[in-house]
Structure 1
Amino acid sequence: MITLNQKYVLHIPCYKYQDGKLISLKNENIIDKLIKQLNTEGYNSFYITEVKGHYKTRIFNEILITIFTNQEENTPEKIFREWYKENNNILQQESYAYEHGTKMIIEEL
């Protein structure tokens, strides 16, 4: 039996909020880049789901990448943090979020 004791859920928005409106993002290429980075670091098995998010009275589509692992070096949160900062010119978010275990972490940009 294999037990993976670390769970990460990366939250990726599909919309940006600009001038009082939700605007769809063309983020497929940067998501592919994140997936390649995860694969390069040994994260070859994870789940990608599309969900509805709700934030500040706005409802929007969001992509969640769920990873179970025992790996402790170059964690998904480190990879995600760097990826998000590199791509926020496209995502244009005020903050980003990910889950680790039972905690939700929200980091301001």
Structure 2
Amino acid sequence: MSKKSSKAQQAKVATTYNINDTVLGKVRGFPPWPGMVVDPDNVHPTVALEHPSSKKATFYCIRFFPLGDHAWLVEKDISKLQRHEIESYISEPHKKSSELLNGYHIALDPAT
């Protein structure tokens, strides 16, 4: 098997996300931002109306920290955010947006 075909197969492996997973979401025009996968059945009706309809892609509803903005994102625009990644970001020199830094602090323990 060639390297190209094995890489292509790895790229096709879909990641699934569960409700309450802490993730890093990418929305055009913004840096990657921490948030949480939320239950689409329990979002505000205006958020639910924004759900894109597609038979080819699965969209996840992401609530971003700290303000609670929502976006519907596909798998390629989301990655699971691990605790060590959050801690690493927080410990870096603070040349970042305070809202973004606050979002990472919330991502450490979203239940609070």
TM-score normalised to structure 2 length: 0.27
More helix per residue: 1 or 2?
2
More strand per residue: 1 or 2?
1
TM-score normalised to structure 1 length: 0.27
Structure with more contact order per residue of length (Cα contacts < 8 Å, sep ≥ 6) = 1
